[in-house]
Structure 1
Amino acid sequence: MEKVNEIIADLGFENIITLEDLPKIDLYMDQVIQLFEQKYGATKRTEDEKVLTKTMINNYAKGKLFFSIKNKKYSKEHLILISLIYQLKGALSLNDIKTTLDGLNEKIIAGDFNLEAFYESYLYLFTKNVESFKEDIEEKAKDVNEEITKLEEQDSQYLEKALFIATLVNISNLYRRVAEKLVDEIKECKKS
């Protein structure tokens, strides 16, 4: 697949909220939405797609995905949690995200947890994952190309894309299933 590097470049992996992007002051909901739109707007699949809406944030709050806000303002910790939610929602249900983040919220409320250090570790691993992904995607593209040449079909460009899509979705599902198993382990630990 010749356009794979172009596709990777268009994904906007550099568009992630870092600790430096987070203001030192608390933000109102509209400011939170604006921050996320500025950072992730380029990664939207279509112009109509919304990065974050008031409804989404209200649903996250009602679902207790993050601890309660004060005076209608979102702290740096809220922004970090919302950023994690934004990343997790691509693969996990809101219930699974809640289970995943419950422990973090409890630690934040108790005041004995450095969420910024946790998020910095996440950002470091995010960067490493992107590097591994770029190498892996090129390898998968080569594998797909080799398989397509074996078929000797006329519409090989379409078939190559279809096989590549199926391969990528398969890999995505494998990772998602492992994540869901880990969420289930968290649930089991809470029951004990």
Structure 2
Amino acid sequence: MNKDILNIIENLNVDKKIELKDIPDLDLYMDQVIQLFESKLSVLKRNEEDKVLTKTMINNYAKAKLLMSIKNKKYSKEHLILMCLIYDLKGSLSINDIKLVLNNIVNKYENNEEYDLRALYDTYLQISSEDSEEFKSSVINKQENLKKLLNDNNITGDFEEKFLLIGSMISMSNMYRKMGEALIDEFFIEGDK
């Protein structure tokens, strides 16, 4: 199963992100934003018919105040950066939690305060790249440790190995999500402590 896991890891494209250089410096209309996201992130879709980003999603983000005000129906580089962050966060967090996390940034822009979102996003991309490498080695180590545990507990069978590996991945995912939620509760609730 080790070769299968390596193929699965590579096909996940966990390190695929929209880079700063991929986002034009000129403002884009909604259709152009959707086209950019689709062209850069379509490899991340689980199913072919899934959409990376839709008009409805963008409108919902704007209504929920996850984005700063849109001017002349055009989206700036900063809008797109926020949409990239939302895209990543929405896999694990509720829209309300995402709003709590991004509220400080959006408020700075709404109040015309200086804020270097590009530098923040660039750093986010760097840490995400490190996380991607850590994830890949962690999955391989998890599989090796699981094989030892299966052997130690006299459990044989392909189904059992796959079931326990999936269970372990979901368990780890839940732990990281819960930690993220706890950090949001600690740092972003009650007026940005």
Q: Unaligned stretches of 5+ in structure 2?
A: none
What number of residue pairs does the alignment pair up?
191
Provide the rounded CA distance (Å) in 1 between the counterparts of 2:53 and 2:192. 33
Q: Which residue of 1 is the match for residue 184 of structure 2?
A: 183
Provide the rounded CA distance (Å) in 2 between the counterparts of 1:187 and 1:33. 30
Q: Which residue of 1 is the match for residue 12 of structure 2?
A: 11
Q: Match for 1:113: what amino acid?
A: Y
Q: Match for 1:135: what amino acid?
A: S
Q: TM-score when scaled to structure 1?
A: 0.94
Map 1:34-53 → 2, pairs under 5 A? 34-53=35-54
Provide the rounded CA distance (Å) in 2 between the counterparts of 1:179 and 1:86. 16
Q: Structure 1 stretches (4+) deviating beyond 4 angstroms?
A: 151-154
> Among the aligned pairs, what percent are the same residue?
46
Provide the rounded CA distance (Å) in 2 between the counterparts of 1:91 and 1:116. 23
Q: CA deviation at 1:147?
A: 2.2
The reply to whether residue 125 of structure 1 matches residue 127 of structure 2 is yes
SS of equivalent residue, structure 2 residue 186? helix
The reply to whether residue 167 of structure 1 matches residue 153 of structure 2 is no
Provide the rounded CA distance (Å) in 1 between the counterparts of 2:188 and 2:20. 29
**Pairwise CA RMSD of aligned residues?**
1.5
Q: Unaligned stretches of 5+ in structure 1?
A: none
Q: CA deviation at 1:43?
A: 1.2
SS of equivalent residue, structure 2 residue 46? coil
1:69-97 deviations in whole A, cap 9, x for unaligned?
Answer: 00000000000000000000000000000
Provide the rounded CA distance (Å) in 1 between the counterparts of 2:168 and 2:95. 26
Provide the rounded CA distance (Å) in 2 between the counterparts of 1:191 and 1:34. 35
Q: CA deviation at 1:152?
A: 4.2
Q: TM-score when scaled to structure 2?
A: 0.93
Q: CA deviation at 1:191?
A: 7.0
